[in-house]
Structure 1
Amino acid sequence: MAKYKSLFDVQGTLGEVTFYKGEDGQYVRRKGGVSKNRILNDPNFERTRENLSEFGRAATSGKVIRRAMNSLMLDAKDSRVTSRLTKVLNQVKNEDVTSARGQRNVAEGLVNPSGKALLKGFNFNAKSELDTVLMTQYTLDTATGEVVIPDLIPNQQMSYPEGATHVSFSVGFLNLDLATETKDLQLSNVVNLPINGIATTVTLTPTAAAVGSGQSYYVLKVAFFQEINGIQYPLKNGAFNALQLIELL
């Protein structure tokens, strides 16, 4: 695979060469490879089919997770969140120690503590990771989903983008069963603060504890705003907002 520079925006296949556009520019690669029919039917590609099947399941699990958290992710994600999450979940399914090869899946992988550890800490916006935005300690009550940030001084304990005048905090407590795709998402109150030197204890309490037969996901969101004439506007459409999976049980 190679990048190319051209006066013309060429996309598609010309002879044995394919041109396409990626997020980082224009690319060119040579056409070729094994035919789809051979991969699907040739006994020599059995392992490949198994890998493709498991990867497909991981991708589907990623879609289920993203949809379950869609209301929180709308303004707190990057353009590559789908591929990044699928990559992590493909590693999680490797922790499935009960299913046969080709049948391993994320739901069984998350039963294993090592599988949970791989997903815990995932940032839905890689351009604004929570640990680089919020530089102070907080506590999580896993029974209720409540998060408390004691004595937060925004202009000292946060890394905030230029132009931001206010910051909001919220929490999501999700129970999600990937096997059945059933979910229960409970959201907390939103605490909005001016970015100044005043210490404030931030308490975020979901309306109820999420229930169900799946895993419990706890996410913490930080969103930035700019106040103009008494109205707060999302800063650059949420490009600097952070959303992290802070715990997974």
Structure 2
Amino acid sequence: MAQQKGIIKLRGKIGDISFYKTQDGHLAREKGGVDGDRIKNDPAFVRTRENGAEFGSSANSGKVLRDALRPMLMSAGDNRVTARLTKIMTQIKNLDSVSVRGGRTVGTAIVNPTAQALLKGFNFNIRAILGAVLFKPYSVDLGTGAITIKGLVPINDIAFPSGATHITIKGAWVQVDFATGIAEVQMSNVSNLPIDAASSNLLLTPAGAPSVGGTNLYMLQIEFFQELNGVQYALKNGAYNALAIVEVS
């Protein structure tokens, strides 16, 4: 891909050159590659078809998780989360040691502890890593999904952006069956705290246990607000908000 320079930026096609805009700027590329029908049918491209099938399956697994978390992602997700999550899902798929090539899936591999470890710690907002926002230890009860944070002093234990006056902290217990593409989310209570020197013991307990089966993901989210005349307003469309998978089972 080539980057367009100059004052006038083109969009569309001129001959075999396509001009388009992305988040990385105005780009141009030449049409190329092998004919699609040949890729679908030529025995010489059997490896390509296998790789394509596995990539599509991995991307779909990432989509299942993102769709389940969409309400949380609306306030704490970056513009590359789709690509980053697909990369993780592809690494997990590669740990499928029982399926034939072209048929390896996240749903089969995720029972592997190494695969689960790849998901643990995933941050959905790369601009606000949970470990760089929250400096207080927490614990997760795998049986109830409850997250406990003891002695949280926001002004000391939270890296807050300029202008923030309050935080909300919440958890979620997500159960995903990657084999069927079914997911269920149970949200916890929400704790809203002023950013001050008061100490609080937080217990974030999901409303219930998900019932779809599959992989258990435990989430923790921190959001920042600015209070003005008694009303709390979100800061920068979630640019500073953290959302991460803190445990997997």
- TM-score, structure 1 normalization: 0.96
Shift of 1:156: 1.2
In structure 1, the partner of 2:191 is 191
In structure 1, the partner of 2:20 is 20
Shift of 1:25: 0.7
Provide the secondary structure at the position in 1 that maps to 2:94: helix
Q: Which runs of 5+ in 1 are unaligned?
A: none
Q: Which runs of 5+ in 2 are unaligned?
A: none
Identical counterparts, % of pairs? 47
TM-superposition CA deviations, 1:177-201 (whole Å, max 9, x none): 1112233311110000001111111
Provide the secondary structure at the position in 2 that maps to 1:149: strand
TM-superposition CA deviations, 1:193-237 (whole Å, max 9, x none): 001111111211111222332111100000000000010011122
Q: What is the aligned residue count?
A: 249
TM-superposition CA deviations, 1:64-87 (whole Å, max 9, x none): 111111222221111111111111
In structure 2, the partner of 1:213 is 213
Q: Give me the whole-angstrom Cα distance separating, in 1, the residues matched to 2:40 and 2:12.
A: 25
In structure 2, the partner of 1:145 is 145
Q: Give me the whole-angstrom Cα distance separating, in 2, the residues matched to 1:183 and 1:94.
A: 22
Matches within 5 A, 1:154-193: 154-193=154-193
TM-superposition CA deviations, 1:113-160 (whole Å, max 9, x none): 111111111111111111111112111111111111111111111111
The amino acid across from 2:188 in the alignment is S
- Does 1:223 pair with 2:223? yes
4+ residue stretches of structure 1 with deviation over 6 A? none
TM-superposition CA deviations, 1:31-80 (whole Å, max 9, x none): 21212122111111110110000000111111111111122222111111
Q: Give me the whole-angstrom Cα distance separating, in 2, the residues matched to 1:204 and 1:213.
A: 22
Q: Give me the whole-angstrom Cα distance separating, in 2, the residues matched to 1:191 and 1:220.
A: 12
In structure 2, the partner of 1:243 is 243
Q: Give me the whole-angstrom Cα distance separating, in 2, the residues matched to 1:45 and 1:180.
A: 28
- Does 1:67 pair with 2:77? no
In structure 2, the partner of 1:106 is 106
The amino acid across from 2:119 in the alignment is L
In structure 2, the partner of 1:10 is 10
Q: Give me the whole-angstrom Cα distance separating, in 1, the residues matched to 2:39 and 2:120.
A: 35
- TM-score, structure 2 normalization: 0.96
Provide the secondary structure at the position in 2 that maps to 1:184: strand
The amino acid across from 1:91 in the alignment is Q
Structure 2 contact 17–30 (Cα < 8 Å) conserved: yes
Q: Give me the whole-angstrom Cα distance separating, in 1, the residues matched to 2:70 and 2:82.
A: 12
Provide the secondary structure at the position in 2 that maps to 1:20: strand
In structure 1, the partner of 2:131 is 131
Q: Give me the whole-angstrom Cα distance separating, in 2, the residues matched to 1:38 and 1:181.
A: 31
Q: Give me the whole-angstrom Cα distance separating, in 2, the residues matched to 1:95 and 1:213.
A: 21
